[in-house]
Amino acid sequence: MSTDQRPLRRDARRNREALVTAARETFGTKGLDAPLEEIARRAGVAIGTLYNRFPTRDDLVEAAFLPALRTSLTHTEEALAADDPWNGFVLFLERSVAMQVADRGFTEVCVRTFGTESELGATKLAIGERMGRIIARAQESGALRADFRLEDLGTVFAATTGSPRWRRSLGLLLDGFRAEAAHPLPED
């Protein structure tokens, strides 16, 4: 049995959990480039303990945000399962924006590229694939304008996540995304 497979001692498990909690809080307020020393201090451990548990920043980011990404993946599955494709599209956007508004670190995880060899990168890839299906399904139903593209979601998130009135901003955008409101858009 390798050291990676052995269960952690109680104190090591407690330190790991404290580091992950401190990372979620620190990254959530200060972003993914927050000082690792601050995370170790918040967790009540030495910086060497942080590096023993998480050799790279990406390892710590993955431990801190993989649960949130899995929640986001569940949201995409629920959106795809919605009887009404438009309602599924709206559900996905409302939940995604709410998660990003609440957590700066999560927003940064959503826009950063991670290798697909990591579970974080693979989960992001799965979310992206489902997002494309959510859009296609809403377009095929005739509810979502035909020229809406996956990359337009970046504009949606940028326009809403920084707003204290994000629900209103999202509502205005959604009205413009409806097929019946569509006017031809210029290509960039």
Domain containing residue 66: CATH number: 1.10.357.10
Q: CB neighbours (10 Å) of residue 114?
A: 19
In a domain, 2, yes or no: no
Tell me which residue range forms the domain holding 132.
58-180
Q: Choose the final residue of a domain: 55, 71, 91.
A: 55
Q: Are residues 108 and 136 in the same domain?
A: yes
4 domain residue, yes or no: no
**Which pLDDT tens digits describe the chain residue by residue (188 residues)?**
434 556 668 888 999 999 999 999 999 999 999 999 999 999 999 999 999 999 999 999 999 999 999 999 999 999 999 999 999 999 999 999 999 999 999 999 999 999 889 999 999 999 999 999 999 999 999 999 999 999 999 999 999 998 889 999 999 999 999 999 777 777 77
Query: Within this chain, do residues 64 and 126 fall inside the same structural domain, yes or no?
Result: yes
Nearest to 100 by CA among 5, 17, 166, 11: 166
Question: What pTM value is reported for the model?
Answer: 0.88
Single residue among 35, 55, 75 that ends a domain in this structure:
55
Q: What residue spans of 7-118 are helical by DSSP H?
A: 10-30, 36-43, 47-53, 57-81, 85-102, 104-111
- 27 and 66 in contact (C-beta within 8 Å)? no
